[in-house]
Amino acid sequence: MSTPYQEFKSLHASNELFLLPNAWDARSAIMFEESEFPAVATSSAAVANSLGYEDGENMSFDDYTFVIRRILSSINVPLTVDIETGYGTTNLEIAENVLHLADLGVAGINIEDSVIQKSGRALKDATAFAKTISFIKNKLHARGVDLFINIRCDTYILNVDNKQQETTNRLKLYNESGADGIFLPFIRDEKDIAAAVKNSTLPLNVMCAPNLPGFDTLNKLGVKRVSMGPFLFHKVYGEISQLCKAIVAARTFSPVLAED
């Protein structure tokens, strides 16, 4: 019988694009499973916002793990967790958090190669970050645990100078770090996507964003996984806001009671 890690990893080897939904609580995760998605991810931004926090590790790791536990207990498909920068300041602290998630039963994680400072978000040193990934992988192997590590490379989300070349330089390091996948949020140009696929030995993950090519095009370009990020969460809660306004305007509950 295959493990959640094995099931999750195999989804990145398919000839068909792997569409991954991002949950914010147990109920949304259940609905994704009922919609026959083969796996579920968390969105740190969506989970944080649902708890009244801004994204960027402002919610505590304990709060986050409570939500993760509830999701794990509610679904039967693999779960991967957006761990942001790792909720730690040292490689050991980050690795201990990752090991804790592995012990809970998650199949994978996303971890970012940027850090939030007082002046804003900035890229970490790529060589040092690659060593962090290798450190985590070695700790997992020592424990006899497999976990899909997806590196979120933030060159495009931060729109850094010479971002295609900077991405290429980072991918060379990350390919050798022991990671299982590469995530480039907000990459949109087909030439940039094709270059990233060419320069990585690891499966490429992109995210919902304005002007992102359609699924068929992404599949032809060699992208293996596309995720929803926090966009579905924001859309759902935007609808709630509109319904509240409609109730007040109508002076009746008909906006939420009317059948489609």
**H or E stretch at 152:** strand 148-152
DSSP conformation letters of 47-110: HHHHTT--TTT-S-HHHHHHHHHHHHTT-SS-EEEE-TT-S-SSHHHHHHHHHHHHHHT--EEE
Buried/exposed 107-123: b ≥16 CB within 10 Å, e otherwise:
bbbbbbbbbeeeeeeeb
The reported pLDDT for the residue numbered 170 is 98
pLDDT at 120 over 90: no
**H or E stretch at 167:** helix 163-174
pLDDT in tens, 142-176: 999 999 999 999 999 999 999 999 999 999 999 99
pTM: 0.95
